[in-house]
Structure 1
């Protein structure tokens, strides 16, 4: 059967092509500035702090650092190797707006990310009691680059606001106080890791560390387990004499938002999708044009760009036939 090439699409809106809607920078120099960070989230860590995370901008952009803004004011400089920060010395019971910009080695700043909002909880007077230590901490590796961690909820006389995840002595992640599981990505193959979890309350009292979870990632090249989209479905649809491919999948779990995907058709990249607004956490779907010829057989699969800026594993491959 003759293969029908897939035309390029340009959709500047909530769902876009990764290469569309480019930003040329604001300095007039040759070359282009990095793109806007995606997947930005903000969550209160205590009555006086907010944990801000974002997806690492592609390494090809030569990012040397990030600038974090509260409203119009720059408040933090973060190295390019990191994509999260704790913003401290905030006021209790206050709403804040944050954005992030990437900066390259030449000092060019990309556009700001979308705005994200977080409200700090009320302060609790004379609270000096730390939450209990999180018990029942468990973990397992999923392939060579990811690990799943879970724990039992800690207790506190005023309530747990967040949990801090540490890799060795370094805090690498924070999740809300109602969450008792997370996925850590960006690990190295064949490497031994140690993780602990601490609970934090609104007064910034921090619990003792949980028991240590020691995990070793699988050796060799990434096999995709644990970082691939699941439940991947593909169906050919005909409308007004043209054929379209309808796709649906469940995003992989990761320590942040999944905002970008690559769709591979017949062994070659067909398009890259970027959610400009809130990315789906449950079922995601997308459709694109295949051509007008009947009886053309296609193979399709999809992979996600993880919050650390690396590509996850490919989904299972599906086969469809136009007009079938």
Structure 2
């Protein structure tokens, strides 16, 4: 017994040391970094998100070795403003984890700001055409028609759900978007931008539906979603997702927020996969109010499915 006690103390001590050892392993350096001048005084920097296993909690953006921005882990792009026209800049990004470990610097991305244009208040024309296709469950390829501007287009910004998610160069008329979710309908628009940061109106919206991933089963997003405004009413139509059962409950989002749950009685719900679901909303908001709408279905397991495409409408008197 006198020899056993020291052995137990030794095991406990070494076990405690193993559990509380400091995390000294840094995450991998960010990949896929790009830099694109968005105006005479700003550059848009983007990179790929870290793998979940890396435990990244934030990113640091450096310009010529000087820290210029810190961002949380869910942000993988940033506009660096306050720059000088007609100047070359170089950027790198480091990832940080919860223990404070910083990765090695990413590859360097360079961009040169264009010359400033005095008193430029004229926005570019909107890209006249937008097309898109899914490239598997997590990527999509977009293309658009070139825009024109009196001083020249300096960038094209891709928006999804009203949020800019990508910036392309002035000579590019297409791009591949990654990091998307399977079985999801995305509605993309493209805006042109000039050297004075004037942005065009949105080009035509394009819907892209990513397919389910392997083993995920059929898609769960309502298809063919439309929204039509008439005096005092908004009419919604869509095709029910093929969930294997009648779908009688849908959650409607307006301007990015859930506003109501649409429920149908058993006799009013068409079979799963059948076309012709329709619902009318009575509206009291003033004419000219703009809405962005999308909806999703309650699945047989009780969870909400994927969102439909987004539709923008303006209420009428």
After TM superposition, the score normalised by the length of structure 1 is 0.57
Q: CA deviation at 1:29?
A: 4.4
Write the distance in 2 (CA, Å) between the matches of 1:182 and 1:83: 17
Q: Which has the higher helix share?
A: 2
1:73-116 per-residue CA deviation (whole Å, 9 max, x = no partner) reads 21111221232211112111112121111000122211222332
Pick from 65, 68, 71 the counterpart of residue 75 of structure 1. Answer: 68
List aligned pairs for 1:136-285, cutoff 5 A. 136-221=129-214
Pick from 36, 41, 48 the counterpart of residue 41 of structure 2. Answer: 48
After TM superposition, the score normalised by the length of structure 2 is 0.59
1:276-301 per-residue CA deviation (whole Å, 9 max, x = no partner) reads xxxxxxxxxxxxxxxxxxxxxxxxxx
Write the distance in 2 (CA, Å) between the matches of 1:214 and 1:108: 40
Aligned to 2:57: 64
Contact 2:24 2:101 (8 Å CA) reproduced:
no
Contact 2:29 2:106 (8 Å CA) reproduced:
yes
Gaps of 5+ in 1: 1-27, 224-324
The runs of 4+ residues in structure 1 deviating greater than 6 Å are none
Equivalent pairs, count: 196
Aligned to 2:90: 97
Aligned to 1:19: none
Contact 1:145 1:222 (8 Å CA) reproduced:
no
Write the distance in 1 (CA, Å) between the matches of 2:205 and 2:73: 28
1:228-265 per-residue CA deviation (whole Å, 9 max, x = no partner) reads xxxxxxxxxxxxxxxxxxxxxxxxxxxxxxxxxxxxxx
Distance 1:201 1:101, change over 3 A: same
Bigger relative contact order (CA 8 A; separation at least 6): 1
Aligned to 1:274: none
Aligned to 2:127: 134
- Secondary structure of 1:196's counterpart equals strand
1:5-37 per-residue CA deviation (whole Å, 9 max, x = no partner) reads xxxxxxxxxxxxxxxxxxxxxxx9443011222
Q: CA deviation at 1:72?
A: 2.8
Distance 1:126 1:39, change over 3 A: same
